Structure 1
Amino acid sequence: MATLVAFHAHPDDEVLLTGGTLARAAAEGHRVVVVVATDGMMGPVPDKGAPRLDELRASAAILGVHRVEHLGYADSGHGPLLYPDPPDRTRFARADPEEAAARLAALLREEKADMLLSYDPNGGYGHRDHVRVHEVGKRAAEMADVKRVREATMPHDNVMRLVRLIRLLRIPLRFDDAALRAVGSPSSAITHRVDVRRFAEQKQAALAAHRSEVRGDGRTAAVMRVLVRLPTPLFGLLLGREWYIEGPRE
């Protein structure tokens, strides 16, 4: 059995990009570890802890994940402004890439990781924290000598078809056309296509565990609310496949 480490930017990314893969790996008897760079919070962490990390742990338990870790950084936000760091921690986009990679590499060595899941060079859709995940993940794999790296992505054509459907249904989606044109990768670049329809129920339940995102007013909240309410077979039809690009380490 292998150990799979999935490195993500924020809580909820583990479901949207790799949830079915994680559930499948766990069901097949592999050890599955999720590491998030940020706690998903822009401001100071309250005394009770970061609520989105609690939601991440609940989501991970549904997927069968064995361990969840946070690298210790704050969310950097999306948009033209990079706000000052909160008083208790550094925004991931401002982190020293070598230091962040060393933190992740230590976890990879501790777990004796056989494979690292990371992001494509554009971080899926250009979010500064996602792009940094690609950079830090690639460097950490080098440091820890993890030879199997898979970069989570989406076929651009599939993304645009889904966007057209969302707009046809008049579901609010707060992304401009220029940003959407940069989402995903060309189909020719994708090396691994994973059918996870068998795990659609787990993936949908794990997404629903991210209550603050589903019930909030973020840019994708309206779409997430629709997704968690869909009949499971339809959810599986829409989100029952996950895609990866073979990384440079193998």
Structure 2
Amino acid sequence: MSTVVCFHAHPDDECIQTGGTMALAAAEGHRVVLVVATRGEHGEIVPDVLEEGEALWQRRIAETFDAARILGAQRVEFLGYVDSGMMGEPDNDAPYSFWSTDVEHAAHRLAAILTEESADVLTAYDDHGGYGHPDHIQVHRVGLRAAELAGTPIVLQATMNRDHILAGIAEARAAAEAARELGEGSEPPADEPDIGEIPDDFGEPEAHITHAVDVRSFVRAKRGAMVAHASQIAPDSWFLTMGEEQFERAFGTEWFIRVGRRRGEGVPFAASIWD
């Protein structure tokens, strides 16, 4: 069996970005290792979750171990950098922030874990971190350099399929409009989805993506891992209130770009991270 190391920026990123792939790999008997760069000190706290005097970082570490257990990870490591906040904030340049750390130094630390684990696969993020978060961009830089240092053969950049998301938004809008037409003169349904826009730099076009991993059989584990991150993901959040079918559509496929590989026009996505 093989070893896959999933490298993430903050607690809860692992279940949202690669939770299904982690659970799938573990179910197939592979060793799954989770490495988290920061403890997520600057996350927005769900009200009334923390105990009196409890620091957010303490809770987020505990939540990560709970989520990792649900997903089948056998080892969890924190690199111990400080959450850098959103791009352009003063926290970007704070002492020990991940964004301001030396890439080479951080890469050697991650490479030591990859070497110790004889990792076959490393997952990181795409070059803009999915949506421009500084810590996510740094995961890309540090992860790819660490794989070079350790000689990890397969490196996958987790991303979002922008075309898939836009198609889903268009379908939801069409369904909402059809419902309004059928009920002309009445109020919109109370459960009508809030369909927003996505930034221009969110995810990657489908043409850039090499892998589409079907994790529909593991969406319950993925959702359970999200529930474990109670300080960040509230019960009434979009993640946890959508119906099962909608959740499966949103999270039942995990998308990756394999470093050093391109997918030709008309060529199917690779279905396994080992491919």
Please state which band the TM-score falls in when normalised by the shorter chain.
0.7 to 0.9
State how far apart, in whole Å, the 1-side matches of 2:129 and 2:166 are.
17
**Which of 224, 229, 234 lines up with 1:205 in the alignment?**
224
Equivalence for 1:113: 119
Please, what TM-score do these two structures have when normalized by structure 1?
0.85
Classify the secondary structure of the residue corresponding to 2:256. Answer: strand
**Which of 116, 119, 137 lines up with 1:131 in the alignment?**
137
Q: Give CA-to-partner distance per residue, 1:155-204, whole Å, 9 cap, x none.
A: 112233456659x756497xxx6x71101111111111001000011111
Equivalence for 2:258: 246
Give how far 1:235 is off: 1.7
Equivalence for 2:37: 37
Contact 1:141 1:149 in 2 (8 A): yes
Query: Unpaired runs of 5+ in structure 1?
Result: 216-220
Give how far 1:237 is off: 2.4
State how far apart, in whole Å, the 2-side matches of 1:242 and 1:195 are.
7
Give how far 1:247 is off: 1.1
| Greater shift in the superposed pair: 46-55 or 123-132 | 46-55
RMSD of the TM alignment (CA)?
2.6
Equivalence for 1:227: 239
Q: Give CA-to-partner distance per residue, 1:116-159, whole Å, 9 cap, x none.
A: 01111111111111011000000000111111101101111223
Give how far 1:46 is off: 6.2
State how far apart, in whole Å, the 2-side matches of 1:131 and 1:245 are.
15
Query: Unpaired runs of 5+ in structure 2?
Result: 44-52, 177-191, 262-274
Give how far 1:82 is off: 2.9
Q: Give CA-to-partner distance per residue, 1:56-79, whole Å, 9 cap, x none.
A: 111110011101110110110013
Equivalence for 2:64: 56
Contact 1:22 1:32 in 2 (8 A): yes
Contact 2:129 2:140 in 1 (8 A): yes
Seq. identity, %: 45
Please, what TM-score do these two structures have when normalized by structure 2?
0.78
Larger helix proportion, structure 1 or 2? 1
**Which of 159, 181, 185 lines up with 2:200 in the alignment?**
181
Equivalence for 1:158: 164
State how far apart, in whole Å, the 1-side matches of 2:247 and 2:131 are.
22
Classify the secondary structure of the residue corresponding to 2:158. Answer: strand
Classify the secondary structure of the residue corresponding to 2:90. Answer: coil
State how far apart, in whole Å, the 1-side matches of 2:225 and 2:56 are.
22
1:102 aligns with 2:111: no
Larger Rg: 2
Task: Figure out how many residues of one structure are paired with residues of the other and give that number.
Answer: 235
Contact 2:41 2:56 in 1 (8 A): no
Q: Structure 1's 163 and 91: CA in aligned 2 closer, same or farther, altered over 3 A?
A: farther
